[in-house]
Amino acid sequence: MKCDLIVVGGGPGGSMAAKAASEAGLKVVMLEKRQEIGDPVRCAEGVSKRTLNRLVKLEPEWIASEVKGARLYAPDGTSIVMSEDKSGGEVGYVLERKVFDRGLAMLAAQAGATVLVKTRALGLLRKNGAISGVSAMRIGEPLEIEAPLIIGADGVESKVGRWAGIDTALKLQDIESCAQFLVHDASIDEEYTEFFLGNNIAPSGYAWSFPKGEKLANIGLGIQGSRSKPGEAVRLLHKFMKARFPNGRVVEMVVGGDPCSGPIESATTDGVMLVGDAAHQTDPLTGGGILNAMQAGVMAGEVAAKAISAGDMSRRGLVEYETRWREKIGKTIARSFQFKEFFVKLNDNDMNQLLGSLAKEDISKMDLAGMLRVLFRFNPKLLWSLKSLII
């Protein structure tokens, strides 16, 4: 099998890359190890409406519910409400990712990409030292696919980067260890996504409830990897459920890791670009990565087409991808990383104080920058280390 571009991984990043590259005229093969794209879901499925609508024409069945905004709880129970358009990249729609991910893969196929499911990439092929394709296992049969360019969109456990010599190792403190239940409970707030802070709930992380309609919600939590141990996220989630949703009935469960590092040093090397979680492009503060993966996918797909037509698949030939993703999402990731580094050190009193000072103000029309300015006004000492980011 021969093509111009192989995309490894059929998540949002991979499908958008395959779609963009196919639309630009490349012959694309996308490999997905699972037999059903999008399943199982390891995600709370929250995304901002505005950004998603800019990226793709939505199908109604991709959306499980729409929310008005986010409610944030301090450890002492004080809460603030933020409107949907001011709540950042993970609030607006709660997706049905099993359908959404498959829908994006369909768009890639409609644009001309060949989608191979139940096909696991096993390694990179090289000819005279240069990348020449991917070796894979397809439904129990070995398969070699030739292509001069590879996009690694193979998620948080990415191997493509490592095979190509890109340093994708994550420190334990830069991984959130997550557990999530799909829960049915009459007390679920269907109008707001909810975030619960507190070191007893989720050490250096947070718990969430993202409503999916009909009194269902993704209820989960993430804790900093360096403060976790095997089974800890699930244990804490059971404890949280007992305290907050004692009558909740669990109908599904997932566990998974979420990269929460700053921007990766390099997402490209000769013949290879990394996209989405594989390139640590999640927001380190919130853990949200769907939209960043999609945006990076589009950029990588477009740059792939240019590189193939110029006949230059070297790292230099792919530099436009590196420049574009750093400009579009890398700066926000770097900023969020600084906020995360501050946030993980807060004790419960600090969090109560910060949310308490926002609760006294009318923040309904404020964006994040406005809220940060209010926080700084009331808590200059606590927030001194973030001064340059706030003022």
Binding site for ligand FAD (CB under 6 A): 8-14, 31-34, 42-47, 90, 120-121, 153-155, 159, 178, 180, 220, 256, 258, 276-278, 282, 287-291, 293
- Judged by beta carbon, residue 7 or residue 372, the one nearer ligand FAD is 7
**Least distance in angstroms from the C-beta of 124 to ligand FAD:** 11
**Least distance in angstroms from the C-beta of 376 to ligand FAD:** 27
**Least distance in angstroms from the C-beta of 76 to ligand FAD:** 25
**Least distance in angstroms from the C-beta of 151 to ligand FAD:** 10
- Nearest residue to 280 (alpha-carbon basis) of 257, 302, 298: 257
- Judged by beta carbon, residue 271 or residue 289, the one nearer ligand FAD is 289
- Judged by beta carbon, residue 237 or residue 386, the one nearer ligand FAD is 237
**Least distance in angstroms from the C-beta of 120 to ligand FAD:** 4
- Judged by beta carbon, residue 340 or residue 386, the one nearer ligand FAD is 340
- Judged by beta carbon, residue 329 or residue 374, the one nearer ligand FAD is 329
- Judged by beta carbon, residue 23 or residue 90, the one nearer ligand FAD is 90
**Least distance in angstroms from the C-beta of 75 to ligand FAD:** 21
